[in-house]
Amino acid sequence: MLKAHLTGVLNAIAQRVTNAHLEGLNTKIQWLKRSARGFRNRDRFRHAIYFHLGGLDLYPASFTHSNS
């Protein structure tokens, strides 16, 4: 098995690249799926992923509160 994947193993060592970031993202998506107890359809699930994990700034810099 090592002979079959030797090129990939050597590249991973030389480039210091892992899939840890993607595994962490997948863990968050799986948590979202479990905590929601299901979605009506794929579009709603996709929107929930974008909302929770998209890194959007919900309060832009130009947003200010007025006291009046």
The pLDDT, as a whole number, for residue 12 is 87
Q: Note the pLDDT tens digit of each residue in 19-66.
A: 888 999 999 999 988 888 888 888 888 888 888 888 777 776 776 666
Give residue 2's pLDDT band: very low, low, confident or very high (50, 70, 90).
Answer: confident
Split at pLDDT 50, 70, 90, the class of 67 is low
Domain boundaries, the chain: 20-50
Residue 39 contacts residue 32 (beta carbons within 8 Å): no
Among 68, 55, 67, which Cα is nearest to 25's?
A: 55
Q: Is 36 helix (H, G, I), strand (E, B) or coil?
A: helix
Q: Of 26, 48, 58, 15, nearest to 7 (Cα)?
A: 15
Q: Which of 2, 8, 54, 3 minimizes the C-alpha distance to 28?
A: 54
Q: Which tokens sit at 2?
A: 């090592």
Q: What pTM was estimated for this model as a whole?
A: 0.59
